[in-house]
A and B are shown apart, each in its own frame.
Chain A
Amino acid sequence: MMHQLAENTTAQGRRSTSNSLSHLWYVLRTNPITLLAFVLFALIILSAVFGPALVPYDPLQTNAAIALQAPSSEHWFGTDSVGRDVFSRVIVATRLDLAISIAAVALSFVIGSTLGGIAGYWGGWLDSVLNRLMDTIMAFPLFVLAMGIVAALGNTIENIIYATAIINIPFYARLVRAEVNIRREAGFVRAAKLAGNSDIRVLVMHIFPNALPPMMVQVSLNLGWAILNAAGLSFIGLGVRPPTPEWGIMVAEGANFIVSGEWWLAVFPGLWLMIAVFTFNLLGDGLRDLVDPRKRT
């Protein structure tokens, strides 16, 4: 078998395929918006992890003497009606809001992918039943459904997470169903069966990873929605309870003071909420490019 080296193997032969770091750098370099999103995302993660240790004041410490002070060099975002430092509260709240949204998205990712994968791979009556179930969930106004779930189950952080997860499941289930369905008959799936893979292994190890790039976009958008959702629930008094620092409650509390001119109480937590949602929305495309090996040419 000496005649087989006909094709050229030189050009990109030495280039390793697993240099993820250089790929990350390439994605960031060619796309400044993704770069911005990654920088903001890093800041959000940093303040979630180290925020409580770094902030200048205890976010729960009240001091009536300095109530309702405007932003100053002492208190960057001012102080609230009982004299707590708004900046410290906004930063400390990051951890809770992020934790709620990540937990909720992780839950809906896992459940939605499982249901969608089953529906897309096996089809038939299972598919019809699951589809109708998802339609039923989506038939409700989602925020109202989440309100109902939290109101019925009780006012705790876990229940906010469950409620947020449930209303997001259909998005994952449908996406995975579609992605699995188009690959069900692909050559590599049949090849995997010939290699002795059972149906479940084919689905989990071969088809599902191919659905990841669009899923990443969904995850990232969803993180933003989940934060909004959690904040929204707290805003209307369901979910996180005062005095815990949380963006939604802070906006709700601050809203009373806007008329009397103390704008900083609501604006800064609102601004942080907006930045977080904005970051996750921008992050999606960049994440998709990162998890797609075809972009690593």
Chain B
Amino acid sequence: MLTIDDLAVSFQTRRGKVNAVRQLSLTLAKGETLGIVGESGSGKSVTSYALMRILDAGGQITQGKLIYSGMDLRHVSENDMRNIRGREISMIFQNPRAALNPIRKVGHQIEDVLRQHLQASRQNAKQKAIEALQAVKIQNAEERYHAYPFELSGGMCQRVIIAIAIACNPQILIADEPTTGLDITTQKVVMELIRDLIIERSMSAILITHDLGLASQYCDRILVMKDGEVVEEGRPQTLFTQPQHPYTQKLVMATPHAETDIRGLLPPEQRSRQPVHTVSDKPLLEIVHLSKTYAGKSGPVHAVKDVSWCIREGQSVGLVGESGCGKSTTAEMLVRLLDPSEGKILYRGDDIAAVPARHFAEHPHRRQIQMVFQDATDSLNPRHTARDALAEPLRQLAGLRGRTLQERMEKLAAMVGLPVNLLDRFPHQLSGGQKARVGIARAIALEPDLLILDEPTAALDVSIQAVVLNLLVDLRAALGMSYLFVSHDLQVIKLLCDYVVVMKDGAVVEAGPTRSLMANPQHAYTRTLLAAAPVLDYA
């Protein structure tokens, strides 16, 4: 069906030529789903862009053949290529909202593709677009035809993208991280939809993902890429049970699954003994009937509804839920960036919710409650170096200056494993993992009692996630901190937390010690969450 032979792609940059893909060869059989897994920068997306000939400016295919049904796509004219894209080979993009035109009705966007490829006339375009929406199982397709992307949820938008991609019955479907940014329950629905469509229309597919669990569940064959090269290839079962290449072994190990502990995510030679953290009975932070209500257009919106629980000294509490469940709002209230509508937050018995958020900067408890943000890139000021970022809390809250300040910063950098020479770099000159370390170092700079972690590893590759999670475990023991770990990923929470709180629609649906809650979930929603996560199946 499709053969790629010895492909090489390079990009012209300020520092000279960068080889994004080297000596890549693959074949895709009819009806087969091929997975390409790898971490960011491995060249997996670039491969698909090269195949579609939509490389960014500066990118160039320097070598190799891309043979699709007898044609070498590398030498096909741009005109013919336009006909191939969408009709023969089509693509599902990572961020569905960005891939849709925000000011056009979704129905019209489907019609565009159909008309472009002469699959529909002016008269029957609407009918066909509605059929396409029905094909991706969108309820009330006639009504949704008139919807704008902003009126639809992320999962719905991704279905529309899928509808566009398959509207012309392509032979090959390329899905580039199709479920990144979607909730796990939505992810499951979308992936099953894609799988059903592939079977129903006997398409071939390439699934590009960083998630080994996802790849193992939906692919027939998997390529593992690293630094632009394929390091290993095989069926999911053999590849993941007996990985041959050290890189594949590292990836498989770093992916959280049922039978691992937190040190087990690291390569064996890096596994030191896991430090023990002690949980006392004394409550550190008590959340008492906390609510947050916003004034919405159609009546009040209850973002958080009467939640209560307690974080004890030294305890790590996981807060789980899907997007919109109120977990981030709760975290913001606890870290005192947001004022609750009702309820108390007792820090060692002291109601800190009584102090308005905008005056909390001067409050003596400010340094005791700190936060690590979800997106490390967004949480670092683009105009400040890592050193500036670390200096902020030390200067503002501890009044450190001069040499003491520098020494403290270097000590912090060492604690989080950030080489001191990186301190003078700007955020865009640091890798994702390094930025995460800067964010963590900044949060622990004043040795807080409570650290709130808002999905700190969500944007990181699994191998870096493994390192960061282990770092968090070490820091917790070294500094005696309590954690509130906000995440959508129960597998990660299980590795790190003593106690779990599950939230849905602004309310707590279930809470309990991690082990018993995971082993024996009481609430139906908790069970759904557990079942939806793609788990790398070893057995």
A132 to B62, CA, bound (A): 57
Q: Is the CB of A17 within 8 A of B426?
A: yes
Q: Which residues of B contact A294 (CB under 8 A)?
A: 382, 426, 428
Contacting residues, chain A, for B384 (C-beta < 8 A):
188, 206
CB distance from B119 to the nearest CB of A (A): 40
* B270/A3 in contact, CB under 8 A: yes
Contact partners of A198 in chain B: CB under 8 A = 361-362
Q: Quick check: B380 and A188 within 8 Å, CB to CB?
A: yes
Give bound CA distance, A222 to B358, whole Å.
Answer: 36
> Which A residues are in CB contact (< 8 Å) with B367?
196
B382 touches A293 (CB 8 A): yes
CB-nearest residue of chain A to B378: A187
Query: Smallest CB–CB gap between A162 and chain B, Å?
Result: 32
Taking a contact as CB atoms under 8 Å apart, the answer to whether A7 and B396 are in contact is no
By a CB distance below 8 angstroms, the chain A residues around B358 are: 199
B433 → A minimal CB distance (Å): 5
- The interface residues of chain A, by DSSP majority, are classed as loop
Asked if A192 CB lies within 8 Å of chain B CBs, one says yes
| Distance from B366 Cβ to chain A, minimum over Cβ atoms (Å) | 6
CB distance from B121 to the nearest CB of A (A): 43
Q: Does B272 contact A (CB under 8 A)?
A: yes
**Closest CB-CB distance, A200 to chain B, in whole Å?**
11
**Chain A residues closer than 8 Å to B378, beta-carbon distance:** 186-188
Q: Is B361's CB under 8 angstroms from A13's CB?
A: no
A window 165-192: CB within 8 A of B: 186-188, 190-192
| Interfacial residues of chain B within 273-329, with CB under 8 A of chain A in the complex | none
Chain B residues within 8 Å of A6, by CB? 270, 433, 463-464, 467
Complex Cα distance, B421 from A12, in Å, reads 10
Which of B362, B370, B385 is in CB contact (< 8 Å) with A17?
B385
Asked if residues A4 and B471 are in contact (CB atoms below 8 Å), the reply is: yes
How far is A106 from B71 in the complex, measured between Cα atoms in Å? 62
Contact of B381 among A193, A199, A210 (CB under 8 A): A210
Are A16 and B424 CB-contacts (below 8 A) given A1-B415, A187-B374, A196-B367?
A: yes
Contacts of A7 in B (CB 8 A): 431, 433-434, 464
A 109-126 binary contact with B (CB < 8 Å = 1; else 0): 000000000000000000
A188 to B392, CA, bound (A): 11
Known contacts A5-B417, A297-B14; is-contact A194 B382 (Cβ 8 Å)? no
Contacts of B416 in A (CB 8 A): 4
Minimum CB–CB distance for B221 against chain A, Å: 29
The answer to the question of B425 belonging to the interface, with a C-beta cut-off of 8 Å to chain A, is yes
**Binary interface profile of A, 1-37, with partner B (CB < 8 Å = 1, else 0)?**
1111111010011101110000000100000000000
Chain B residue numbers with a CB within 8 Å of A210 are 381-383
Say if the beta carbon of A152 comes within 8 Å of chain B.
no
Does B371 lie at the interface of the complex (its beta carbon under 8 Å from any beta carbon of A)?
Answer: yes
| Size band of the interface chain A makes with B | 35 or more
Q: A13-B421, A293-B428 given as contacts; is B266 within 8 A of A194 (CB)?
A: no
In the assembly, what is the distance between CA of A188 and CA of B428, in Å? 14
- For the complex, what is the distance from the CA of A26 to the CA of B14, rounded to whole Å? 9
Residues of A within 8 A of B389 (CB): 191
Q: Which residue of A lies closest to B466 (CB)?
A: A6
**Chain A nearest CB, measured from B320 CB (Å):** 21
Query: From A10, which residue of chain B is reached at the shortest CB distance?
Result: B419
Cβ 8 A contact of A192, one of B14, B392, B421: B392
Q: For A13, A26, A187, A210, which residue has the most chain B Cβ atoms within 10 angstroms?
A: A187
Complex Cα–Cα for A143 and B382 (A): 38
Contact of B375 with A by CB under 8 A: yes
- Pick from A4, A13, A194: contact of B393, CB under 8 Å: A194
Which residues of chain B are near A194, meaning CB under 8 Å? 335, 337, 366, 370-371, 393, 443
Residues from chain A with Cβ under 8 Å of B210 in the complex? none
Residue of A nearest to B367 (CB): A196
- Is B10 positioned at the interface, with any CB of A under 8 Å from its CB? no
B231 at interface, CB cutoff 8 A: no
Name the A residues within 8 Å of B26 (CB-CB): none
Asked whether, in the complex, the Cβ of A196 is within 8 Å of the Cβ of B361, the reply is: yes
In whole angstroms, what is the CA distance A209 to B380 when docked? 13
Q: Of all chain A residues, which has the CB nearest B393?
A: A195
Min CB distance, B136 to chain A, in Å? 33
Judged by a CB distance under 8 angstroms, whether B429 is at the interface is yes
Bound form: Cα–Cα A5–B14 in Å: 27
Contact between chains at A9 and B337 (CB < 8 Å)? no
CA distance A30 to B439 in the complex (A): 34
Whether the Cβ atoms of B419 and A3 lie closer than 8 Å is no
Chain A residues lying within 8 Å of B373, measured Cβ to Cβ, are: 187, 190-191
A75 interface residue per 8 A CB criterion: no
Q: Which B residue's beta carbon lies closest to that of A192?
A: B392
CA distance A210 to B426 in the complex (A): 13
B384-412 residues at the A interface, CB under 8 angstroms: 384-385, 389, 392-393, 396-397
User: Which residues of A are found within 8 Å of B494, using beta-carbon distances?
Assistant: none
Residues of A within 8 A of B272 (CB): 2-3
With a cutoff of 8 Å between Cβ atoms, the chain A residues found around residue B65 in the complex are none
Contact with A along B465-492 (1 / 0, CB 8 A): 0010011001000000000000000000
**Is A13 in contact with B422, judged by CB distance below 8 angstroms?**
yes
> Contacts of B425 on A, CB cut-off 8 Å?
17
Enumerate chain A residues within 8 angstroms of B249, measured Cβ to Cβ.
none
Q: Are B361 and A3 in contact (CB under 8 A)?
A: no
User: Which single residue of chain A is at the shortest CB-CB distance from B418?
Assistant: A4
Residue A197 at the chain B interface, CB threshold 8 Å: yes
Q: Which residues of B contact A190 (CB under 8 A)?
A: 332, 337, 371, 373, 379
B337 near A1: Cβ-Cβ < 8 Å? no
A288 interfacial contact with B, CB 8 Å: no
Contacts of A187 in B (CB 8 A): 373-375, 378-380
Q: How far is the CA of A166 from the CA of B176 in the complex (A)?
A: 52
How far is A39 from B501 in the complex, measured between Cα atoms in Å? Answer: 64
Please give, as numbers and ranges, the residues of chain A lying within 8 Å of B14 by CB-CB distance.
Answer: 26, 297
Contact with B along A248-291 (1 / 0, CB 8 A): 00000000000000000000000000000000000000000000
For B369, give the chain A residue with the smallest CB separation: A194
User: How long is the Cα–Cα vector from A209 to B367 in the complex, in angstroms?
Assistant: 26
Contact A297 B361 (CB under 8 A): no
Residues A196 and B397 in contact, CB atoms below 8 Å apart: yes
- In B333-367, the 8 Å CB interface with A consists of 335, 337, 358, 361-362, 366-367
Q: Within the assembled complex, what's the spacing in Å between the Cα atoms of A296 and B383?
A: 11
Contact A4 to B467, CB < 8 A, known contacts A195-B396, A196-B361, A196-B393: yes
Given A7-B431, A190-B337, A14:B426 Cβ within 8 A: no
CB <8 Å contact, A9 and B419: yes
The docked-state distance in angstroms from the alpha carbon of A2 to that of B332 is 33
* B442 contacts partner chain A, Cβ-Cβ < 8 Å: yes
A206 and B443 alpha carbons, distance in the complex (Å): 17
Ordered by A's residue number, 30 sampled pairs between the chains whose C-beta atoms are within 8 Å are: A1-B415, A1-B417, A2-B270, A3-B270, A4-B417, A5-B419, A6-B270, A7-B434, A17-B425, A18-B424, A188-B381, A188-B382, A188-B384, A190-B332, A190-B337, A191-B379, A192-B392, A193-B361, A194-B366, A195-B392, A195-B393, A196-B362, A196-B392, A196-B396, A199-B358, A206-B381, A210-B381, A210-B382, A212-B383, A294-B426
- Given contact pairs A3-B470, A9-B422, a sample of 4 additional A-B residue pairs in the complex whose CB atoms are under 8 Å apart: A186-B378, A191-B380, A196-B397, A210-B382
Q: Which 7 A-B pairs have the closest CB atoms?
A: A4-B417, A187-B379, A3-B270, A196-B396, A187-B378, A195-B393, A195-B392
